[in-house]
Amino acid sequence: MTVEHAPEASDAAAELRAAAAGAMARELPSAWLEAHLVLPLGLAEDGALRVAAGGQPDATVVDALARRFARPVRLVPVPPQDLRAAVLAAARETTTVTADANDLLVGEETSDLRALADEAPVVTVVDALLRDALRLGASDVHLESAADGVRVRFRLDGVLRDVERVAPALRAGVVSRVKVLAGLDVAERRRPQDGRARLRVAGADGAPREVDLRVATLPALHGESVVLRILDHGGGGGARDLQALGMPEPVRARFERLLARTTGLVLVTGPTGSGKTTSLYAALARVATPGVKVVTVEDPVEYRMPGVVQVAVQPAVGLTFASALRAILRHDPDVVLVGEMRDRETAETAVQAALTGHLVFSTLHTTDAVGGVARLADMGVERFLIAATVQGIVAQRLVRVLCDACAQPADPDASPLATLATLEALAGEAIDDATPRWRRAVGCAACAHTGFRGRTGIYELLTVSEAMRALIAAGAPQDALRAQARRDGLVPLAADGLRLARAGRTTLDEVLRVAHLDDAA
């Protein structure tokens, strides 16, 4: 992107009026041009796209123009009031504004979506947001209605980041467009709605790839807010190998021994977005051999795995986790994955499956591995059944990895230094004797100036020994279970994170952000 010298005022006004009525401007919604104070003027002699700008446009706006016209952008500073007047005058002279969605959606769905989307001027805005989210690797897109428009935030590597603000005039249209894509009731604004969309999106290389969106709306003070969870099946989001998860070697070896069992219950715990499903699918990839029948029940099916029978729950027709699991057990499976244990019925059915000769994988929402025992008990599963079936529980978090292009050597900040000795004591023999390679985040273009690029896991693994089974069956308190787990070799989450911080892969502050020392202690 380059910038030209500002033209004379009279010349600028005339050129703006002509450009606003020109063919290039008609390819973009006038409301979008007005909101971002930009207007395509035409092509320069060197082939660059000259764009009038009534200020400094956001980088995402410049990127959208460059992609739309397949040209490098050269900004031409102009008075904002003149640009706005030219765009408004051109808008009054036309009664229709069209925007083509072909550059985002490809395939047979395109015509249907055009017919459903009655807010045509916002198609370009929504398309650009989805493309940018995919390009940056965002896991979620947040559209938050506010008095001054729509605040757009992407969740990148687990942290929300502001990327754009959509003008108030486009707020209703943007929300309606997303609701149409997800098959939601556009007219219903008083209650939350949940929906899904499957799009085939043109990637950076032009090849289409499938993307699933899970859409949730929420009525708020200034209008509906929307969150889109992105499940990118074609962007490298398939099941990963266990070795790629970042488990320390001792933990991975013990986890693989659990996978070699033919019966029992193996649980993965952690908050939403901590990579539980990714870990379970890595485990499935290890056990799904030609001689093993594997069936999953999920909400929704997040990864597609050849050779595995995958079932998506449909509560509207009575296909819940519990009912689907009961039906699955009549299909002679060897291994069963239950996406999440949400209620007593599901938990009890999974436990019974583990008792009757099946290896069952599932997830729970708990803060640590030992907490999985208490969670099952709280759901109504008898303690003796927990002791008899649970083989192991993995707790995990995702920490951001330092950007190698800009990270710099630096000792930890003063605030977490006081916790360092505690973490080293908790880690015990699991810590490497090598000299620490502490580094700090800086920020550069390669990491979008965050200092971090990508994420990796930190883990703790509870393997249920005979001593632990006796304590669980006897109803021992959590402290007693944690003490036994440490004797059995469990290294707490925060202490495992210390391993990565000492190696210079992340920072101690980042570890303590996702795995609090109180939990480890």
pLDDT digit string, tens, across residues 183-222:
888 877 788 998 888 877 665 555 667 788 889 999 988 8
Taking residues 251-257, report their average pLDDT.
93
CA distance 104 to 415: 46
Confidence band, pLDDT 50/70/90 cuts, at residue 230: confident
**Position 97 pLDDT exceeds 60:** no
By percentage, how much of the chain surpasses pLDDT 90? 34
What are phi and psi for residue 28, nearest 5 degrees? -125, 145
Provide φ and ψ at 489, rounded to 5°. 105, 5
pLDDT band at residue 484 under the 50/70/90 scheme: very high
Reply yes or no on whether the pLDDT at 364 is more than 90: yes
Stronger pLDDT, 206 or 284, i.e. the higher one: 284
The torsion angles phi and psi of 106, rounded to 5 degrees, stand at -125, 150
pLDDT at 450: 87
Region of poorest pLDDT, from 213-222, 228-237, 449-458, 459-468: 228-237
pLDDT (average), residues 301-323: 85
Measured in degrees and rounded to the nearest 5, phi and psi for residue 337 equal -110, 120
Using alpha carbons only, give the angle 328, 329, 334 rounded to the nearest 5 degrees: 100
Dist. CA 361–CA 305, nearest whole Å: 16
- Least confident among 223-237, 383-397, 484-498: 223-237
pLDDT band at 239 (very low <50, low <70, confident <90, very high): low
pLDDT tops 50 at residue 265: yes
Q: Out of 56-60, 87-91, 176-180, 460-464, which region has the weakest mean confidence (pLDDT)?
A: 87-91
Confidence of residue 257 (pLDDT cuts 50, 70, 90): very high
Global confidence as pTM = 0.69
Band of residue 176 on the pLDDT scale cut at 50, 70, 90: confident
What per-residue confidence (pLDDT) applies to 314?
84
- Residue 37 is encoded by which pair of tokens? 């104070």
Q: Which residue has the tokens 């986890």?
A: 255
- Residue 420, judged by CB atoms within 10 A of its CB (0-12, 13-18, 19+), counts as middle
Quote the mean pLDDT of the chain: 82
Comparing 92-96, 149-153, 225-229, 430-434, which segment has the lowest mean pLDDT?
A: 92-96
Confidence (pLDDT) at 382: 95
* Token pair recorded at residue 310: 């995958």
- Which residue, chain included where needed, has tokens 């490098």? 72
pLDDT computed for residue 105 by the predictor: 37
Q: How confident is the model at residue 18 (pLDDT cuts 50, 70, 90)?
A: confident
The string of pLDDT tens digits covering residues 378-425 is 999 999 999 999 999 999 999 999 999 999 998 776 555 556 666 666
pLDDT of residue 166: 86
Q: How far apart are CA 339 and CA 343, in angstroms?
A: 12
Mean pLDDT score, 57-69 = 80
User: In this predicted structure, what is the pLDDT of residue 112?
Assistant: 32
Which pLDDT score is estimated for 354?
Answer: 93
Higher per-residue pLDDT: 334 or 124: 334
Pairing of strands 193-202, 208-218: antiparallel
Greater model confidence, 316 or 190: 190
- Residue 316 pLDDT > 80, yes or no? no
| Confidence grade of residue 67 (pLDDT, cut at 50, 70, 90) | confident
Please determine, for residue 2, whether its predicted confidence score (pLDDT) is greater than 60: yes
Rounded mean pLDDT, 428-454: 81
Confidence of residue 109 (pLDDT cuts 50, 70, 90): very low
Q: Residue 52: helix, strand or coil by DSSP?
A: strand
